[in-house]
Amino acid sequence: MTQTPAGRRSQRATILDVAAAAGVSRQTVTRAMNDMPGIKTETRQRIQEVARELGYTPSRFAKGLVQGARTSVGLAIPDLTNPYFPAFASSVVEQATQRGWQVVMDDYGHGGRNGLDAVEHLAPHVDAVIGYLGGYAGQAQAILGRRPLIVLDEEPGSAAGAITFDYRHAAELAIGRLQGVGCSRIAYVDSVRAPEKRALEIRAPEDLNSGNRPSSAGGSAETVAHGRGADDGFVTSRGRAFAAVLEESYGGAFRCSAVAVEESASESRTAVRELLALQPGIDGIVAFNDLVASGVLKALSDAGKRVPEDCLVIGMDGIPLGEQLSPELTTLSLDLREVGRTAVELLDGLLGGTLAAGSAESRLILRHRLVVRQSA
Amino acid sequence: MTQTPAGRRSQRATILDVAAAAGVSRQTVTRAMNDMPGIKTETRQRIQEVARELGYTPSRFAKGLVQGARTSVGLAIPDLTNPYFPAFASSVVEQATQRGWQVVMDDYGHGGRNGLDAVEHLAPHVDAVIGYLGGYAGQAQAILGRRPLIVLDEEPGSAAGAITFDYRHAAELAIGRLQGVGCSRIAYVDSVRAPEKRALEIRAPEDLNSGNRPSSAGGSAETVAHGRGADDGFVTSRGRAFAAVLEESYGGAFRCSAVAVEESASESRTAVRELLALQPGIDGIVAFNDLVASGVLKALSDAGKRVPEDCLVIGMDGIPLGEQLSPELTTLSLDLREVGRTAVELLDGLLGGTLAAGSAESRLILRHRLVVRQSA
DNA sequence: AGTGGAAACGTGAACGTTCACGGGCTGGGT
DNA sequence: ACCCAGCCCGTGAACGTTCACGTTTCCACT
């Protein structure tokens, strides 16, 4: 034995410690630990026993250095507590595991961090990132360099891959439904992501109560948003899509009002309660998502309105909660497991080289699907 | 330059490639990339530019090897889709991130894997594991060797740390509540974890409809469970705790019946519907968790029973869903963020050496708290 | 011009493992 | 007695980075 594992300050046992203790060489220990051939069964067992006693755990760094990396993907999610994300995260983990990848996860919603912080935190440890970054696609891709980034629900910018949603199509589905049953006064309840922390408030929509505004010709479509701090009325791309489709569909005979609240049922409840007090005639409400829609249902109940008799309600994204509500929520459903699967497939293509970063094929657009239940 | 980065087959650019391209040495590149002092600003910028062009990303393995590992913890979770887990997972990630740790996550619920598979998958990449393993604490700790394992809701066995729950206390809270308002016929709706896939079915409880059984003296407490494949009536520790407390509290004047279903609202709904058809007199139901309780509410509604007027319902674990139901669900609430935080604190103690693996201090017992809302 | 000293940069060594060899032993055949 | 094959085991090299030094460059002050 010319190997001298002695005299080190390291706490961890190394392969040399095991080799010395068992009276063999490094390579033999490697053979024993990794079930390789070319070693006597007796020796193998003795070495494994010694390793167990010493509490030896192979260094993942040394292993990775010599063997070449197993791929590990970072998963950045704003808030696992939001029922939208678990199905997505679960699906990503499942798909990654199937490919033998590992997933390093960051839920950046707490502690005032944002999507960029998450990517900075993940970057040193991963070969790629998938995530809802909320607008940092460009900067995040810069941090990652050549390593692929898949962003979701966001302008891709320089990101290697992206999955976005056809909100225009979703809006057409929902409004088609409401229009079909004759709704005439529709409200859209928008929402902003918590990290932005914009203090949005509802203002009295005088213009809607007191007839037409001077600026708009009598009977023309009219879209009014109540929200402070938003550069335009509808702050989200969801909201914008709805506004556009509403104008087109109801040209001439429609009024829409919108409130923007933080993404939670209780916020939504109080906001919509106030809205209903000001505009009792509303007979159809589309919500930013099912969580917000849940608050809408409560608010309608508070106001003594029955769903769907007095007012229809349509949610969005189709989280499991919707089925448990009464009335069961009609929603624009998104198969979030499919979204996760698709994201991993995209990444697989990018890592494998069959897909070019930033190419048209790496930009996918997914569609919502109308699931009709009781509320509309 | 005696450094010769040429003639390698490696795809990835190494620090030597950057050094050669920039006409400097390894160490200078290191200084540039890690914002260390002792380098001219101009040189630093030039190197960073070169690194960007070459798509250089430092090898996390080489870095980890020489610098000593940043700790990374594995997080094993049966099913993120189950609303019980996201708050826990989110909290673990938050706490770990605060300490500068990274979290490698495995959601092992899909594809027929179990908690042991998850630990095997995580083991090569992590310094410790936190997880709901569903009964594999011993074998998992064996795989991890000296590296600490924190198990939740499970007999700790040889695991370094553990968090369990005082189901006895929870049962006392719930039954105390029901007893206080005079419930006389209580059902407990139990559940088994999906991975077990035990086919449990409801059988007609003749003994409860047709008076006393011969084996039990008239009027004595009687606990009947309907479930095939369970060695005893109540298959879960939650169920066992409830059975015990029910017997003691209602000694002489009580009848309890239980069904065991898979953990889902729809399964629960059909199961309880059948149960109510057989035993219409039930006036209080405690459910395995809020998801199951949600199905119970639906079943009661199906049967024309009003909650809480005709029958009280108490859920368990206090997931956000409960507040959105109508009636809002009274539940035995668990602060899952606190559970996650506590798990990480335990791990912190174990890694730091201030806590001994397997010691009494590394075994924590947390309690549920009764949150009274509308359903009871 | 000489000198001191800081700033800028370079070089051997080490981290812990696997890969690609190479060597010794054993046993069975000619 | 010799050789060869097959098994078992050991040794140098390499993976890519940082650490701890050592060396050079540069400037200011005497």
Residue B313 lies in a domain: yes
Could A64 and B60 be called an inter-chain contact, meaning their C-beta atoms sit closer than 8 Å? Answer: yes
CA distance A145 to chain B (A): 6
> In the prediction, which pLDDT does A324 show?
83
Residue A251, token pair as written in the block: 């040209």
Residue B373 lies in a domain: no
Q: Residue A215 pLDDT more than 60? A: no
Banded model confidence at residue B285, pLDDT cuts 50, 70, 90: very high
Closest by CA to B75, choosing from A258, A253, A102, A325, is A102
- Bases of chain C below 7 A from a protein C-beta are 7-12, 14-20
* Residues B181 and B302 placed together within one structural domain of the fold: yes
Banded model confidence at residue B368, pLDDT cuts 50, 70, 90: very high
Nearest-CB residue to B107 (from A55, A90, A294)? A90
Interatomic separation, CA of residue A181 and C1' of nucleotide D26, rounded (Å): 84
CA distance A325 to chain B (A): 6
Neighbours of B139 (CB within 10 A): 16
Q: Residue B228 pLDDT more than 90? A: no
Burial class (CB in 10 A: 0-12, 13-18, 19+), B264: middle
* Residues B269 and B185 placed together within one structural domain of the fold: yes
Q: Residue A84 and residue A107: Cα distance in Å, rounded?
A: 13
What lies within 8 Å, CB to CB, of A239 at 6+ separation is A188, A190, A225, A233, A258, A260, A288
Q: Are strands B102-107 and A102-107 parallel, antiparallel or unpaired?
A: antiparallel
Interatomic separation, CA of residue A124 and C1' of nucleotide D15, rounded (Å): 18
CA distance B212 to chain A (A): 37
Q: Mean pLDDT for chain B?
A: 84
Nearest-CB residue to A145 (from B52, B93, B105)? B52
* Residues B56 and B116 placed together within one structural domain of the fold: no
CA distance B147 to chain A (A): 8
* Exposure class string for B275-286: b at 16+ Cβ within 10 A, else e: bbebbeebbbbb
* Residues B161 and B175 placed together within one structural domain of the fold: no
* Residues A154 and A196 placed together within one structural domain of the fold: no
> In the prediction, which pLDDT does B197 show?
34
Could B323 and A265 be called an inter-chain contact, meaning their C-beta atoms sit closer than 8 Å? Answer: yes
* Residues A317 and A349 placed together within one structural domain of the fold: no
Amino acid at A45: Q
Interface of B with A in 236-265 (CB under 8 A): 265
Banded model confidence at residue B192, pLDDT cuts 50, 70, 90: low
Residue B9 lies in a domain: no
Residue A5 lies in a domain: no
Could B146 and A59 be called an inter-chain contact, meaning their C-beta atoms sit closer than 8 Å? Answer: no
Residue B51, token pair as written in the block: 């690194």
- Per the structure, how many domains does chain A have? 3
- Bases of chain D below 7 A from a protein C-beta are 7-12, 14-20
> Is A366 within 8 Å of chain B by CB?
no
* Residues A116 and A224 placed together within one structural domain of the fold: no
* Residues B236 and B125 placed together within one structural domain of the fold: no
End-to-end CA, chain A? 79
Q: Residue A254 pLDDT more than 70? A: no
Nearest-CB residue to A93 (from B60, B69, B106)? B106
Q: What is the pLDDT of residues B37-79, one digit of tens each?
A: 999 999 999 999 999 999 999 999 999 999 987 899 999 999 9
* Residues B57 and B76 placed together within one structural domain of the fold: no
Q: Residue A332 pLDDT more than 80? A: yes
DSSP-derived 3-state class of residue B213: coil
Residues spanned by the domain of B357: 72-165+336-368
Partners of B320 on chain A (C-beta within 8 Å) are 81, 83
Interatomic separation, CA of residue A40 and C1' of nucleotide C28, rounded (Å): 21
Nearest-CB residue to B90 (from A64, A107, A298)? A107
A206: CATH: 3.40.50.2300
- Helix or strand (DSSP H, E) at A207: helix A206-209
Q: Residue A219 pLDDT more than 50? A: no
Nearest CA in chain B to A336: B81
A271-278 average pLDDT score: 85
Return the number of CB contacts < 8 Å for A and B.
154
Q: Residue A279 and residue A257: Cα distance in Å, rounded?
A: 9
Q: Residue B141 and residue B138: Cα distance in Å, rounded?
A: 5
Q: Measuring from the CA of residue B13 to each C1' atom, give the nucleotide at the shortest distance.
A: D16
- Evaluate the omega torsion of the peptide bond into residue A58 and state whether it is cis, within 30 degrees of 0: no
> In the prediction, which pLDDT does A227 show?
37
Q: Residue B89 and residue B70: Cα distance in Å, rounded?
A: 20
Q: Residue A335 and residue A312: Cα distance in Å, rounded?
A: 23
Q: Residue B158 and residue A175: Cα distance in Å, rounded?
A: 59
Q: Residue B193 pLDDT more than 60? A: no
Query: When comparing pLDDT for B249 and A299, which is higher?
Result: A299
Partners of B319 on chain A (C-beta within 8 Å) are none
* Residues B230 and B278 placed together within one structural domain of the fold: yes
Residue B42, token pair as written in the block: 């101009």
CA distance A124 to chain B (A): 6
Percentage of residues of chain A with pLDDT beyond 70: 82
> Is A301 within 8 Å of chain B by CB?
yes
Sheet with A284-287, strands from edge to edge, namely A222-226, A255-262, A185-192, A284-287, A312-317, A330-333, A369-371
Contact B321, B81 (CB under 8 A): no
Q: Residue B235 and residue A24: Cα distance in Å, rounded?
A: 50
Residue A6 lies in a domain: no
Closest by CA to A317, choosing from A362, A286, A346, is A286
Nearest CA in chain B to A59: B65
Residue A324 lies in a domain: yes
Which residue, of A23, A47, A67, is where some domain finishes? A67
- Helix or strand (DSSP H, E) at B314: strand B312-317
What lies within 8 Å, CB to CB, of B110 at 6+ separation is A90, A94, B79
Residue A306 lies in a domain: yes
Residue B372, token pair as written in the block: 């009274």
* Residues A297 and A177 placed together within one structural domain of the fold: yes
Closest by CA to A165, choosing from A369, A370, A368, A371, is A368
* Residues B154 and B282 placed together within one structural domain of the fold: no
Residue B7 lies in a domain: no
Closest by CA to A309, choosing from A175, A183, A172, is A183
Phi and psi dihedrals of A104, rounded to 5? -100, 125
> In the prediction, which pLDDT does A193 show?
54
B51: CATH: 1.10.260.40
* Exposure class string for B89-109: b at 16+ Cβ within 10 A, else e: bbbbbbbbbeeebbbbbbbbb
> Is A121 within 8 Å of chain B by CB?
yes
